[in-house]
Amino acid sequence: MKKGAANHEYSFFGNVERYFDKAAAHTQYPKGLLDQIKACNSVYQMRFPIKIGDRVEVIEAYRVQHSQHKVPCKGGIRYSLGVNQDEVMALASLMTYKCAIVDVPFGGAKGGIKIDPKKYTEDQLERITRRYTVELMKKGFIGPGIDVPAPDYGTGEREMSWILDTYVAFNPGQVEAYGCVTGKPVSQGGVRGRKEATGRGVFFGIRELCNVPEDMKALGLTIGIEGKRVVVQGLGNVGYHSALFFWEAGATIVGLAEIDCALYNAKGLDLNDVMKYKAEHGSLLTYPNAKVFKNAGACLEFDCDILVPAALENVITGENAPRVKAKIIAEGANGPVTPDAEEILLKKGCYIIPDMYLNAGGVTVSYFEWLKNLSHVRFGRMDKRFTENSNLKFVSTIERITGQKITDGEREGLTHGPDEVDLVNSGLEETMISAFHDIRRVLKGSKKIKDHRTAAFVVSINKVAGAYMSLGIWP
């Protein structure tokens, strides 16, 4: 398998369908409705030429809109050699289920360009991205009310800026144009907190699980995040930020892995030191403060409490699942566990907190960004000062009545009015906590549903089916 390419011995879309069918068996919807929910509505496979040096390269790319039961459609764009139609369809369908779980009013979509972005100069990548955007526009596959891309594996703020700039250039005067893509830099209509959002959401979801005494008892773990032994695979956007929030909350990061190697230190790794070393040396292969494994996949078998696969799909399979020691698998990546692996892991008593819920923090905050773009106003701008003044009056009244003075630090904490990032993080926290309990309620409320993924799919199917039924086609 090429480095950075997904394991395509497994049909990723086939896996998502298997998970869907398993959950659908616990619902009463007619087959036609379930078939419609499952199907990918629009699949756009494209080829376009790009001049690279003195030759022309034909680029293979995709955009899939899985469902328009709510519009716009929403989903990231991936740059990887592993991109193919099956993968993009799977990722688009997961987006539908994900948006439904966290009550983000979008249908699912996903895009991908089959390239290794490391092999191109910045200028070449810009031309590929802009041409891809134009191809999407030509077929009506992008627009603030149609389909709104975001970052995914191999892309980030830079690519989103190019997409925005291209779209705006072709749509002058369109007042909502900035809502055509999310994950933009703040200077170009992005929202504070989006970059960290997926990792922060992973942390919130697992923290919620670790605060349930019944579940921790079942797993033989103590309550809370502190002291939990965590392993993270992939130090990109999702992996790095997940590791950071676990680390800041007092977890011990015993293992980390990048594409070329894995690190293990039972006493704990210093995340800042690891990231600094990676930035300075370009690789962790010679990192001195840990045992280094040249096989990056070794991290999946490290002894730990929480394993966060945050790289690519199909990494935990029927082959390696028997050797996985983690008690909790926190799916930061999309589709890291195959159905065969899941069967084995569930039998071992492992909790798998599924991608479609756990990594939904990214799309949740993308939704906030889109709302910001449509409203043309920064969150907190209208009420921050008003809240601070009201709080100050309240605190001063209490001081006057009690005759007690509080410290300046206490005053600042009590009177602080929310900035944009406070509101975004709080909206994200609320979303992840409520969705966790929605899933848990279904899990605990049924004797037949035995795992979090099936419960999450049931929550999602109920919501999407409800939206389709309101169209009047189904009774």
Residues classed as catalytic = 110
CB atoms within 10 A of CB 389: 12
Do 418 and 387 meet the contact criterion of CB atoms below 8 Å apart?
Answer: yes
The answer to whether 455 contacts ligand NAD (rule: CB under 6 A) is no
Q: Are 364 and 150 in contact (CB under 8 A)?
A: no
Q: Which of 211, 239, 237, 241 is nearest to 226 (CA)?
A: 211
CA distances from 118 to 61, 87, 212, 433 (A): 17, 20, 43, 37
272 CB contacts (<8 Å, ≥6 apart)?
none
Binding flag, residue 177, ligand NAD (CB under 6 A): no
Nearer to ligand NAD, 75 or 144 (CB): 75
147-151 sheet: strands from edge to edge: 42-52, 55-65, 107-113, 73-79, 147-151
> Judged by CB, which is closer to ligand NAD: 40, or 465?
40
Which amino acid, one-letter code, is at 421? V
Residues 43-62 interacting with ligand NAD (rule: CB under 6 A): none
Residue 19 tokens, joined: 């998970």
Query: Is 358 or 443 the residue whose CB approaches ligand NAD more closely?
Result: 358
Residue 431 binds to ligand NAD (criterion: CB under 6 A)? no
Query: Which residue is listed with tokens 């699949």?
Result: 43
CB of residue 152 to ligand NAD, shortest distance in Å: 5
Instruction: Report, in Å, the least distance between residue 291 CB and ligand NAD.
Output: 16
Closer to ligand NAD by CB, 67 or 198: give it. Answer: 198
* 256 lines the binding site for ligand NAD (CB under 6 A): no
Cβ burial, residue 382 (10 Å; 0-12/13-18/19+): exposed
Contact at 8 Å (CB) between 17 and 97? no
User: Are 289 and 270 spatial neighbours (Cβ–Cβ below 8 Å)?
Assistant: yes
The yes or no reply on residue 258 touching ligand NAD (CB under 6 A) is: yes
Stretch that binds ligand NAD, among 37-45, 119-127, 257-265, 394-402 (CB under 6 A): 257-265
Instruction: Report the residue from 46, 249, 259, 275 that binds ligand NAD according to the rule CB under 6 A.
Output: 259
Token match 């990887």: residue? 80
Stretches 29-37, 100-108, 171-179, 231-239: which one binds ligand NAD (CB under 6 A)? 231-239
Nearer to ligand NAD, 334 or 454 (CB): 334
**Could you tell me how many residues of this chain bind ligand NAD (CB under 6 A)?**
25
Q: Is 233 in the site for ligand NAD (CB under 6 A)?
A: yes
Asked if 312 interacts with ligand NAD (CB under 6 A), we say yes
Check binding of 354 to ligand NAD (CB under 6 A): no
